[in-house]
Structure 1
Amino acid sequence: MDTVVVVLLSLPLFLLTLYLIFYYPSSRRRNLPPGPTVYPIIGNLTGLLFSMENAEFVIRKFKDKYSKILTLHIGSQPMIIVSDRNLVHKCLIQHGSVFASRPFVQANETDTNRLMKNEGYNVSTTVYGPIWRLLRRNLVSEILHPSRIKIYSDARSWVLSVVVDKIQKKSEGGSVVVVVKDVLHHAIFSLLVCMCFGVKFEGKLIRDIEAVQCELLLYMNKIQIFRIFPRIGPYLFRKRWKTMTDIRKRQTDIFRQFIDLRRQKKNNNNKTSDCFDYCYFDSLLELKLAEENGRRLSEDEIFGLCSEFLNGGTDTTSTTMEWVMANVVKNQDIQEKLLKEIRGVVSGDGAVEEEDLHKLIYLKAVIKEGLRRHPPGHFVLPHAVTEDVVVDGYLFPKDASLNFMAADIGWDARLWKNPFEFKPERFLPGGEAEEVDITGSKDIKMMPFGAGRRICPALNLAMLHLEYFIANLVSTFDWKQVDGEQIDLSEKPEFTIVMKTPLRCRVTLRQMG
């Protein structure tokens, strides 16, 4: 009996020893980038479990020790973090096809997959291949092409007029305190709903879907556990499961209302100013997946793509606008220079038109400095390695997850003088950043939109929105700090990196003429 007990107790130790002898050392001998100690089976996940809310802090602590690249192990899969700009360029540009995919989550018929399947096919997270190329090509050619963007100039003008009128009515001829985030987020969201569904929506319906989309974004971190435990997660975390189910249902109900209104408008022979001939939703109805016997997208998949379009373009743009406006208000000399440039281009009391934007060189410098100093995300979305590849002597194994410290590149004191100062002049002719390419194609000194094959496809639309709205807001109103308040530039991570203390400004209508 004692012998049996000894054997049973020794068996786990024996198996662990075999693992250490035959698997663990061999994996350590592989020329992976350096990183903290890896423990069998659990990797170094334990180092992160205690700081899930401060994952970036933990990564930065390791980065200080391991310099430009480090490897973390989540279970048996390595996650590689790159912060060196030259190595980033080699990965994303020179070896672009190898690093162009996304971490793959195996589809199954669990309740989890059915709930989240509208995320299965979208431009940002679909694995690299024919379906991703189809979805991205459709987005770029059918809604983000310059000719399509121009169609919606009337919508941009409409949204701007709504914002201006709302502030003017509140001020009653004097000044008013404005929570900038609320104004900008609603404006950009309304514009993207218009581009997505082809109709100018106002009132309760638009406020309801905006609230649902915000709730969905803020809840995303809490539902990642269902990806790890797709079968038992709904039973272990029933409250989270119910909340997510409710959010999805409300989203679906409102999207169906949008679609019904879109069809009514299109079927109406009387053309109205609040309906556009073509929209993103229309393009999705026509798509056929050749890789799946030519089937069309399901309702859930269309809703997922529409949701991605709204969220991807709203929070990143409105957050950047808020950061830029915070620095413009904090540094009144920048606001004065902007206004002087605008008045030199736009005559009288007219609005800044889109055709004027290419003349506003200082405005473009302010926007770029905002993107450098306050990028919407400190990291990009995770990439996946599609085959073993060696870059700069480091092995990037197939199926490894890969990410890049985008913000750190723009803050590198070796590249930028006084990197934490807000200095638009660095992007002006003769400045240190005059030749900086924000796409990263030639060289990477900042990457607010990512780089390579997965670069944000809406880069040009985002820059247009940033320039158009900031130019007109500065031209129309005088922006000042609220008496007794200081602008706090502290950060807070949400879907994007937002201002910890939302920007409040005292706004006064400018005297024209």
Structure 2
Amino acid sequence: MVSAPVVFTSLSLLISIPIIFFFFIFNRNKSRNSKQLKLPPGPPGWPIIGNLFQVALSNKQFIHYVRELFPIYGPILTLRMGARTLIIISSAELAHEALIEKGQLFCSRPAENPTRVIFSCNKFTVNSAIYGPEWRSLRRNMVSGMLSNARLKQFYPNRAAAMDRFIDRIRSEAIANNDAILVLRNARYAVFCILISMCFGVELDEKDIILIDEVMKRVLITLSPRMDDYLPLLRPFFSKQRAHALNVRKEQIETIVPLIDKRRAILKNPDDHKSAAPFSYLDSLLDLRVEGRNSAPNDTELVTLCSEFLNGGTDTTATAIEWGIARLINNPSIQSKLYEEIMSVAGKDKPVSENDIEGMVYLQAFVKELLRKHPPTYFSLTHAAVQTAKLGGYDVPADANLEIYLPTISEDPRLWKDPEEFKPERFLPGAGGESADITGVKEIKMIPFGAGRRICPGLGMGTIHISLMLARMVQAFEWKLHPDEPELDFGSKLEFTVVMNRPLLAIVKARK
């Protein structure tokens, strides 16, 4: 699930300068309450706009800009981004204090900007809901209704069929393009196919799937933060952007509601739709009774909940696949070890199954190392305190965004041996092996899915999809870098999730 604390252009900030100075004459930046609080240290900022100048004019993405601040200000710091206060933590100790020791204090979500409220139905989603009865109802339903081990096993035939189509798609693209494959594009399509089937229990052709995927992408683009999210005084000047957001929302509803109606028709007359899936995530939502509400979700709310399921699991998984193939290309010995394990467990005459991957120790170690070095997002989803609370000896206001920066935790030399190296062997059982509790229950050393009460409910599904896709890809093909590409660049950038600087173009050779 994606968190993007700051995304905007320096141009939009420069355009806003005259307006900002106009309001500066009539406003003061600090309230009496904020003066009384002991906030973590941070770079000095301007009145009203805070640190927006430094971020916008740094020519760096926020995920890289903020990393340079920790050596200066320490593992907990404050950034004032217009009307928002960001408290950013970057150490395992502080993450443990916030998410585990004081989990009940920091388990809420901050106020959403007006655009996000439109798409979340006023925070009626698992990820955005305020901590309380409504959130518990939604999360409980998602876990028991779709993401439990029992439910995930029910959808094994759907995943197996999607994996077969995925491998066939790669093979066809390779034949058409002299063995060249764009990894992320193909991985994203495969994951989206699986999630569409799980969400709605219907089979769609490629044209319809691509159409729905394009709408979901437009939603994500529209949700990217704007200047007026940080400076509400500018909102009158962003009326066109708000109108565009309403149009995208309308398009989203018009695209998803027919799928909801199609599933309703299947449930009403199952004998007429024997090829349809016996269950879907939507089934659990149609008659859902949320604590504190008298009725089941309406169609608009169903669109929101289904979209959350689709968007939450697509880019995160596809991104991991691209990073994983890049690592296999960069280190052929790792690719060979993984292929040898696949042959010893599953052989070459039948596709790798989910039962097979449970016994693949090296594959599991590889996936753990992949998530340690390349978490899909560098920030966990934003937390907020239910009331002003202490963290690391400092005050965290109830209206502040608590952001948890993940790379500095999973690359902390105090926690890891040779943290900069990519070594799956570190997680193999036996003497000298390192632990990797990615849930954060036993310890916090790497938390790619977050930790505590608001840990991502899709953790189990995500790891299954990543493991199965990588195993099938290595079983079917040998992967190499395209000869027209320069050497692999493991630099990163933010595009909903953290992706490679250059889309990975690979060469595949079918295994004999």
Give the shorter-chain TM-score range: 0.7 to 0.9
Letter in 1 for 2:446: M
Aligned pairs for 1:360-379 within 5 A: 360-379=360-379
Confirm or deny that 1:147 pairs with 2:150. Answer: yes
> How many Å separate the matches in 1 of 2:190 and 2:268?
28
Q: Which runs of 5+ in 1 are unaligned?
A: 1-11
The yes-or-no answer on 1:386 pairing with 2:389 is no
Question: Partner of 2:402: helix, strand, or coil?
Answer: strand
Q: Contact 1:93–1:452 (CA<8 Å) still a contact in 2?
A: yes
TM-score normalised by structure 1 residue count: 0.88
The percentage of aligned residue pairs carrying the same residue is 38
1:314 aligns with 314
Equivalent residue, structure 1, for 2:349: 349
The one-letter amino acid of 2:70's match is: K
Number of the residue aligned with 1:168: 171
Partner of 2:70: 63
Which runs of 5 or more residues in structure 2 are unaligned? 1-23
Label 1:264 to 1:73 Cα distance change in 2 as closer, same or farther (>3 A): same
Task: Name whichever of 133-142 and 488-497 sits farther off.
Answer: 488-497
Task: Give the Cα–Cα distance (whole angstroms) in 2 for the partners of residues 216 and 14 of structure 1.
Answer: 36
8 A Cα contact 1:122 1:132, kept in partner:
yes
Equivalent residues of 2:323, 2:500 under 8 A apart: yes
SS in 2 for 1:355: helix
Residue 443 of structure 1 deviates from its aligned partner by 1.3
CA change 1:204–1:389 in 2 (3 A) is: same
Shift of 1:392: 3.7
Change in Cα spacing, 1:288 to 1:269, as seen in structure 2 (3 Å) is closer
> What secondary structure sits across from 1:508 in the alignment?
strand
Shift of 1:285: 1.2
Matching residue of 1:443: 443
For 1:289, the equivalent position in structure 2 comes to 290
2:136 pairs with 1:133: yes
Q: 1:412-462 CA distances to partner (integer Å, 9 max, x unpaired)?
A: 233223322211111112475532211111211111101111111010111
Offset at 1:483? 2.1
2:499 maps to 1:498: yes
Q: Partners of 2:112 and 2:483 in 1: how far apart?
A: 51
CA distance in structure 1 between the partners assigned to 2:412 and 2:170 by the alignment: 39
Structural mapping, 1:244-323, within 5 Å:
244-270=245-271, 274-292=275-293, 294-323=294-323
Partner of 2:191: 188
Aligned in 2, Cα 1:27/1:220: closer, same or farther, shift over 3 Å? closer
1:100 corresponds to: 107
Counterpart position of 2:13: none
User: What do residues 195-242 of structure 1 show as CA deviations (whole Å, max 9, x unaligned)?
Assistant: 110112222211101111112213321557368649x73x52244234
Change (3 A) 1:456 1:374: same
Contact between 2:76 and 2:392, CA under 8 Å: does it hold in 1? no
Asked if the contact 1:69/1:82 (under 8 Å) is kept, the reply is yes
Match of 1:116 in 2: 119
Q: For residue 465 of structure 2, what is the aligned residue in structure 1?
A: 465
Residue 193 of structure 1 deviates from its aligned partner by 0.6
Pairwise CA distance, 1:50? 3.5
2:215 matches 1:212: yes
Tell me, yes or no, if the aligned pair for 2:61 and 2:493 is still in contact at 8 Å. no
Measured in 2, the distance between the counterparts of 1:316 and 1:84 equals 23
Task: Compute the displacement of 1:473 (Å).
Answer: 1.1
Deviation at 1:146, TM superposition (A): 1.1
Question: Computing the radius of gyration over CA atoms, which structure comes out larger, 1 or 2?
Answer: 1
Task: Please report how far the alpha carbon of residue 113 of structure 1 lies from its aligned counterpart in structure 2 after TM superposition.
Answer: 8.0
CA distance in structure 1 between the partners assigned to 2:216 and 2:308 by the alignment:
10
CA drift of 1:467 comes to 0.9
In the alignment, what sits opposite 1:5? none
In structure 2, relative to structure 1, the CA distance for the partners of 1:228 and 1:291 (3 Å cut) is farther
Is the contact between residue 257 and residue 303 of structure 2 (CA under 8 Å) also seen in structure 1?
no
Letter in 1 for 2:426: R
Query: Which residue matches 2:418?
Result: 418
Instruction: Return the alpha-carbon distance in structure 2 between the equivalents of residues 359 and 27 of structure 1.
Output: 54
Cα distance change, pair 397–241 in 1 and its aligned pair in 2 (3 A): closer
What is the number of residues matched between the two proteins?
488
**Higher mean C-alpha deviation, range 416-425 or range 114-123:** 114-123
8 Å CA contact 2:81–2:230 kept in 1: the answer is no
- Aligned Cα RMSD in Å? 2.8
2:313 alignment partner AA: G
Residue of structure 1 in register with 2:338 after alignment: 338
